[in-house]
Structure formats: structure tokens, C-alpha cells
């Protein structure tokens, strides 16, 4: 329990504290209505004072609850309840989540860096979760080790989708946001500048987490969140191999691309980031985003202007006082910048108006738009344009099996002839085989199904002479049936009862045989009655109807 809270919304029992962060505490709990173990996140009371936050929080939590994927911690419920704290009533926002038996990555990193292969595996799972959420239009905004769960069975799951957005949309400054989110170590440069964010923001933060997994520390550290955020904008991270010699140059290159200050120079999708990371771990040279080339004077001046502006914004939210920052007033520097800018604009206009030009001795080709086509049609379309095709496959609930989900490079990009275009083809909705749940408790059966990404639908009871009360008799569909991930399965549970029939009027032999049958398995005690004849049963101690398993029944029969 916490702050005297033992029950939320009339159904969630709050148990032991299992984790805490800058904006919430997490408790192990129980859903008394469904009888399952859950994780209960109690947000800090300070967040509940803003009605705008509460409205945004409910909306974002509902959006997160709609996401069902094996790499995302499921959100079952969210809301707020009126609780009493020290004799005063207050609003307590809460989130009911899937309980994961494991630990957070943050705690694991306290033991030191991970093996590069293990770090890449964890990052790959995070990117898979982000690929799913980005397709659903949800940007996480707060990817960090404290939001990544490592289950004991090896699964990696990301949590807190939507919550960071609810916080960010009600916090007006970087300083306020930092106070809520706890750390700026995983900020993207655009977050540090208080600019708009998109999916590439999550990819930068994932690159920071990958760096920390490889080296045991974040790429940037400072005495305050402001100092760290400033480094994200203005300083280049060192190569991970300088801190951990076991990191290969290929992985160094992937991390460097992920941490590009300009989001247009990073990986443009979680799938591309994951693919290139896997290539690097396998010892192959990854295909990295092309970095833009700028004149040194222009790049330095622009970076200095960005850094100064960022510092002004950050200091405005964290401290006040006279500025000591100064810039060289030389007019010729700005004349040079304007001159270079004019030349660059002229070059861009010239290039845009060019048709296909010679690239490496071959004419360039525009990548065709094949998204939504069948694999066969897409392959034919690409090969007709004298390009090569490499096919990747992945499960996707929205794109029909056999159709193209995406291509790399994207449609319209000019590439040399014979360039290898990678297309990702849908395998359709992932199918999983239902396990045999017979004899398991309801909680154990739910956990087994949820680990496969399957929800429990309706539960019903049936009398059974052999299966103990509360344990599973069967499921619908039955065991070994192939079902879609994300679908639901109904459970049939034992009531612990048997239905006793009326045996009065039957011969004692037939009555005893029926009561002792496999369907009833009752303990029968025949009692003779010499006052009548015919060997027929005249009385039974248990009335016809439901009675506990393995009950004892006395039957009185005539022996005169």
C-alpha cells in the first residue's frame, strides 16, 4: 500500500512497491474482478492538480490501451480515483498495466555495460515496438532505460506510451518537462530546443539507450539537465568503442547515425535502424543515412547560433540573471554566411531542375512506388526499372499477407541503376498455437495467453468430478488451434461441483453404480431397510442437484 491507498476504482488492490520514477510509483497489484496480477502505476499527486493534464492523460492512456503488441506492455485501464490522504481527499491518477516478472533496464545497467550482441537484441526489440507504435501514429517521446522492461523469459517490453505526450502537452518549458520526466540524458536535440517532435525523436533516444548499453554510461553527462540538454544540441558523442573496445566499428557507425543532431540525417524509420543494427552485429557494413555537407564557416556559425538560442531557452526555464554569452561582431563573417547561403540555394535550384544524371557511370533511376502491391508485382516493377530487389518479411495486422509494407529507399528517391531496393512484405496477422491449459489456475492460464499476445475473453464454469474448483477444463478455441495474435480465447473453469441425480426407485445396484461412475465419483454408503422388500432405493441423503466433488451419499434400500 502507499499513502493509505489499498483499493482503486473499487477493484484494484494496491500491493507492494516494485518501482519508482520521477513522475510515478509502481506497485504490484491484483484485479479483484478478473482475479489477475497487474502492475499499478500511481502518478504523483502534483500532476493531478492540472485539469488540462487529467483530460490529456485520459485521452493518451486510452490511445495506449489500444496498442497490442508482444513488445509493448499492455495498458488494461486508466483513470483517476478520489482517495483520502491524511484526512484530505484528493484525486489520484492511475494506470493499470500488464505485470511483467522481471526488471527494468535501468537497474540492469547499474551492473555495467552489456555484451554488444545482447545490447543489439534489446535495442532491436525496442525498435520493433516503436515501429508498431509509429505506424499507429503514436510517438513515445520518453524512451529511456526506466521505460524498458526485461522479463525473466528474455522478452523485452516498452512501457508508458502516451504518458510522455500527456506530460509534454501540459508543460510549457524544458525545465518543467525535465522536472516531470526526471532526466534530460535521453532528450533529442529537438526536444532540448523545445521544438516539435516526430518518430525520429524516439530513434535518437533509442540511440542514446544503445550507447549506454554498450558503454555503461549515457553519451552526455553534466551537473544539471540544462547542461546535458545543451550537449545534445551542440556536442558530438564519442564512439562507443573508445569506452568499450569490444564494440565494432560497424556498431560505432550505426550509433553515430542514430545520434545525428539533424533528424533528416538519422535513420528515418525504426525498421531501417533495426535492420542496419542487425547488419552491423552480423559483421556486415551497414548502409547509413547520408550526412549533408556544409561549408565549414557556415556549419560552425549555424551550430553556434543554434547552441546560443538553445542555451537561452533552457536558462529561461531554470535560472535568471545577466547573460555573459558573447559573439564576434565581425561583419565579414555574416557576409560570408550570406554568400555561402546564396550559392547553396542556387545549387539546390539547379539540381532540382536537372533530369537523371550520371552516377558512377550509370544513369540514375527513380525508385518506383510499390507500397501496397503484391510481392510479385512489386518485384517486377522494380526489376523493370533495372534495379535489384531484396525481400524482408514481417508480421503486420493492417497490411494483407503478401503485400508490400514499405521500401528502402522510399519511392521517388534517385539511385544508380542496379541499386538494391529493400522491400518489406507482410506475413499478415501473426498466428500462434494455443497451449493446452487444462488443469491450470485461471491466473496461470491468463499469464500463458498474455505472453503469446492473446487476451482472455469470457470465462464460464462447468461441473466436473475430477478438475479442482477454479482450474481450467478447456478453452474455446481448443488447444493447438492456430489463432491470430491479439485475438481472445474463452476459458471454461471447473465449479468444483457435481450434479447428483435422483436415484430413489432404482435398484440399489444400479443406483450405486451411477453414483460411483467417472462422471460423479461420489462415495456411496448403502443402508439396508428390512421393513420393505424389492431391493429398491427408498431414500438418499443428498438431494438431487449440485454438491461438492467427492461428497459422501447414503442410500437406503429395501431388504425385507
The C-alpha cell that represents 548 in the structure block:
461438492
Active-site residue among 77, 142, 160, 272? Answer: 142
The C-alpha cell that represents 513 in the structure block:
453404480
Nearest one of 408, 448, 419, 445 to 432, comparing CA atoms: 448
**Is 142 an annotated catalytic residue?**
yes
The C-alpha cell that represents 72 in the structure block:
509493448
Cis peptide before 477 (omega within 30 of 0): yes
The C-alpha cell that represents 528 in the structure block:
439396508
Nearest one of 450, 425, 322, 449 to 375, comparing CA atoms: 425
Rounded-to-integer distance, Cα 277 and Cα 254, Å: 6
Cβ–Cβ under 8 Å, residues 201 and 142: no
Q: CA-based Rg of the chain, rounded to a whole angstrom? A: 32
* Contacts of residue 196, Cβ cutoff 8 Å, sequence gap at least 6: 190
Nearest one of 106, 111, 113, 112 to 247, comparing CA atoms: 113
Nearest one of 288, 277, 249, 292 to 131, comparing CA atoms: 277
Q: Rounded to 10 degrees, what is the CA torsion of 177, 183, 185, 186?
A: -60
Residues with catalytic annotation? 142
Amino acid at each position: 500500500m502507499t499513502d493509505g491507498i489499498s483499493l482503486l476504482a473499487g477493484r484494484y488492490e494496491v500491493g507492494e512497491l516494485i518501482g519508482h520514477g520521477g513522475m510515478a510509483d509502481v506497485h504490484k497489484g491484483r484485479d479483484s474482478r478478473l482475479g489477475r496480477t497487474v502492475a499499478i502505476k500511481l502518478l504523483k499527486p502534483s500532476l493531478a492538480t492540472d485539469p488540462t493534464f487529467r483530460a490529456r492523460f485520459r485521452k493518451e492512456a486510452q490511445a495506449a490501451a489500444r496498442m497490442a503488441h508482444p513488445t509493448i506492455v499492455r495498458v488494461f485501464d486508466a483513470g483517476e480515483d478520489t482517495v483520502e490522504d491524511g484526512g484530505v481527499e484528493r484525486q489520484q491518477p492511475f494506470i493499470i498495466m500488464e505485470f511483467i516478472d522481471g526488471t527494468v533496464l535501468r537497474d540492469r545497467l547499474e551492473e555495467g555495460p552489456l555484451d554488444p550482441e545482447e545490447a543489439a537484441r534489446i535495442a532491436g526489440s525496442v525498435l520493433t515496438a516503436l515501429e508498431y507504435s509509429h505506424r499507429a501514429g503514436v510517438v513515445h517521446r520518453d524512451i529511456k532505460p526506466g521505460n524498458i522492461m526485461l522479463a525473466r523469459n528474455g522478452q523485452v517490453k516498452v512501457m508508458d506510451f502516451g504518458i510522455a505526450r500527456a506530460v509534454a502537452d501540459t508543460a510549457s518549458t524544458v525545465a518543467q518537462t525535465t522536472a516531470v520526466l526526471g532526466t534530460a540524458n535521453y532528450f533529442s536535440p529537438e526536444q532540448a530546443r523545445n521544438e516539435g517532435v516526430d518518430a525520429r525523436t524516439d530513434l535518437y533516444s533509442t540511440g542514446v539507450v544503445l550507447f549506454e548499453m554498450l558503454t555503461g554510461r549515457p553519451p552526455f553527462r553534466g551537473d544539471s539537465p540544462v547542461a546535458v540538454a545543451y550537449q545534445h544540441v551542440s556536442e558530438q558523442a564519442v564512439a562507443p568503442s573508445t569506452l568499450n573496445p569490444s564494440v565494432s566499428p560497424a556498431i560505432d557507425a550505426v550509433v553515430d547515425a542514430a545520434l545525428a543532431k539533424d533528424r533528416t540525417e538519422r535513420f528515418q524509420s525504426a525498421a531501417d535502424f533495426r535492420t542496419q543494427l542487425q547488419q552491423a552485429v552480423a559483421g556486415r557494413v551497414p548502409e547509413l543515412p547520408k550526412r549533408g555537407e556544409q561549408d565549414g564557416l557556415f556549419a560552425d556559425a549555424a551550430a553556434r547560433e543554434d547552441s546560443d538560442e538553445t542555451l537561452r531557452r533552457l536558462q529561461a526555464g531554470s535560472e535568471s540573471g545577466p547573460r555573459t554569452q558573447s559573439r564576434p561582431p565581425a561583419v565579414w563573417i555574416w557576409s560570408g554566411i550570406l554568400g555561402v547561403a546564396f550559392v547553396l540555394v542556387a545549387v539546390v535550384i539547379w539540381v532540382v531542375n536537372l533530369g537523371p544524371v550520371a552516377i558512377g557511370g550509370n544513369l540514375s533511376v527513380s525508385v518506383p512506388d510499390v507500397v501496397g502491391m503484391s510481392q510479385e508485382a512489386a518485384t517486377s516493377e522494380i526489376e523493370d526499372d533495372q534495379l535489384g530487389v531484396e525481400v524482408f518479411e514481417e508480421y503486420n495486422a493492417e497490411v494483407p499477407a503478401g503485400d508490400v509494407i514499405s521500401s528502402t529507399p522510399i519511392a521517388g528517391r534517385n539511385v544508380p541503376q542496379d541499386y538494391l531496393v529493400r522491400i518489406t512484405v507482410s506475413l499478415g496477422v501473426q498466428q500462434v498455437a494455443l497451449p493446452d491449459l487444462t488443469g491450470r489456475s485461471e491466473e496461470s492460464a491468463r499469464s500463458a495467453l498474455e505472453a503469446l499476445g492473446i487476451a482472455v475473453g469470457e470465462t464460464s464454469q462447468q461441473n466436473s468430478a475430477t478438475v479442482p474448483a477454479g482450474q481450467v477444463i478447456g478453452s474455446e478455441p481448443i488447444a493447438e488451434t492456430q489463432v491470430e495474435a491479439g485475438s481472445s480465447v474463452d476459458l471454461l473453469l471447473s465449479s468444483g461441483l457435481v450434479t447428483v441425480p435422483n436415484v430413489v426407485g432404482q435398484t440399489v445396484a444400479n443406483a450405486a453404480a451411477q453414483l460411483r461412475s467417472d462422471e460423479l465419483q461420489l462415495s456411496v454408503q448403502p443402508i439396508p431397510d428390512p421393513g420393505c422388500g424389492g431391493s429398491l432405493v427408498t431414500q438418499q441423503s443428498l438431494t438431487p442437484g449440485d454438491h461438492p466433488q467427492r461428497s459422501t451419499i447414503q442410500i437406503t434400500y429395501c431388504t425385507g
